[in-house]
Amino acid sequence: MKIDNGLPCLTLPESLPQMGLQFTMATEEDFDDIMAMSQDIYGGLDYLPTRYSTWLQEPHRMVILARKQGKVIALESVCVIDDGETVLVEGLRVAPQERGKGVAGVLLRFCSQVVKTRYPEVKVSRLTRDDQLGPKDFQKYRLITKQGILLVRFRAEDMKLRLAEMGVTERGPEVALLDPSDAHRLFLTSGVTRNVLPNATIVQDWQPFKPLASNMAILAKKAIDWMVDDARSPTVASLCTFPFRVPIGDDWYYLNIDVFGKDLVLVQKQFLSHLQRHTATLKGHVMCQVFLDPALWEPLADFCRNTLGVELVKGYTEQCVVESDLV
């Protein structure tokens, strides 16, 4: 699915003339302008600075900019997944001075037209949201699955000491770290799809995938730890994205852990193992976001506060995977 740098001559006549928008494909030269309009987005946990260059190189992805009088004012990325049947929408952002003016909606509609033109086989648009969904949202979207979001903050040095006091190790009973080939095989089995994954969906750092070989090939290229309690017949599985710097401040890192399964003890064991493995070489502050079954949020939050002694950044919120037909 090769993408050239041009965009088709599509227009949205009801909106574009009044708004004065132009659309272009993003390039490396646009990076500074995009970062300038993205200040404070996602509470300082913006992943785009570390992924931007990679996104531009992915053959199945487009990064589209909206410009006004030549200035970048909005961005959206679309990525074709699920054997070419689904477009994943992510990275949407609008410059502060242009918010509330309908720019996001126009950009979304333009990107949908581009996808339909270039990939007529795509039938569904999918995205993840962390805001409260209301009745109007459910008129537009189908809810695929949801996870609770647990966000905690700590210093890596303090966490290393606490884990050492607790005797936590990377490996142990009911903690198995998979190599990518084993993960590929295991996550495509009917047992994992049916009994572990929420509504047969792999969610990795906000990106939802169906368990298909083509999607596993995409995931295999990423820096991810795949962990299960039993390599033959798992009850709990988790994916930990390797930590990366975020613009919240100097020496701040983001650690993302997606957990699937309902056994609290097994979830805690894998959570601790991921923490031990990825804080061992870090120095500085860590914002760790754990996505898990909503029923496990409160007990794991208590465990974080009372046993690990870390700070909860906010209360319960949800990550919702939604989709709609591309029409």
CA distance 177 to 175: 7
User: Does residue 126 register a pLDDT over 70?
Assistant: yes
pLDDT band of residue 7 (cuts 50, 70, 90) is low
Do 152 and 294 fall within a single domain?
Answer: yes
Domain of 243 in residue numbering reads as 146-325
> What is the DSSP code (8-state) at residue 294?
G
Q: Is residue 65 part of a domain?
A: yes
Burial 278-302 (b: 16+ CB within 10 A, else e): bbeebeebbbbbbbbbeebbeebbe
Do 65 and 204 fall within a single domain?
Answer: no
Among the three residues 107, 122, 137, which one is the final residue of a domain in this structure? 122
Do 204 and 272 fall within a single domain?
Answer: yes
What's 96's domain CATH number? Answer: 3.40.630.30
The pLDDT tens digits for 66-82 are: 999 999 999 999 999 99
Do 159 and 307 fall within a single domain?
Answer: yes
Do 50 and 161 fall within a single domain?
Answer: no
CA distance 153 to 292: 17
40 vs 182, which has greater pLDDT? 182
Instruction: Determine which helix (DSSP H) or strand (DSSP E) holds 230, and give its type and residue range.
Output: none
Lowest mean pLDDT among 110-124, 127-141, 222-236, 254-268: 127-141
pTM score, two decimals? 0.92
Q: Is residue 138 part of a domain?
A: no
The pLDDT tens digits for 283-301 are: 999 999 999 999 999 999 9
Do 181 and 38 fall within a single domain?
Answer: no
Do 304 and 186 fall within a single domain?
Answer: yes
pLDDT band of residue 3 (cuts 50, 70, 90) is very low
Q: Is residue 265 part of a domain?
A: yes
What's 256's domain CATH number? Answer: 3.40.630
Domain count of the chain? 2
pLDDT band of residue 173 (cuts 50, 70, 90) is confident
The pLDDT tens digits for 72-123 are: 999 999 999 999 999 999 999 999 999 999 999 999 999 999 999 999 999 9
**CA torsion sign, 204 to 209 to 213 to 215?**
negative
| Contact present, 323 and 209 (Cβ < 8 Å) | no
What residues are paired with 124 via a beta bridge?
A: 86, 325
- Give 3-state DSSP helix, strand, coil % of the chain, rounded to 5: 40, 30, 30
Do 87 and 154 fall within a single domain?
Answer: no
The pLDDT tens digits for 38-62 are: 988 888 889 999 999 999 999 889 9
> What is the DSSP code (8-state) at residue 200?
G
pLDDT value, residue 73: 97
User: Does residue 185 register a pLDDT over 80?
Assistant: yes
Average confidence (pLDDT) over 169-197: 91
| Long-range own/partner contacts, residues 185-194 (CB < 8 A, 24 or more apart) | 186/228, 186/231, 186/234, 187/211, 187/216, 187/226, 187/237, 188/212, 188/213, 188/216, 191/233, 192/234, 192/237
Q: Is residue 1 part of a domain?
A: no
pLDDT value, residue 77: 98
pLDDT value, residue 205: 94
pLDDT band of residue 169 (cuts 50, 70, 90) is confident
pLDDT value, residue 231: 94
| Contact present, 286 and 156 (Cβ < 8 Å) | yes
3-state secondary structure of 144: strand
Residues 6+ apart with CB under 8 A from 51: none
Do 54 and 203 fall within a single domain?
Answer: no
pLDDT value, residue 131: 83
pLDDT value, residue 13: 43
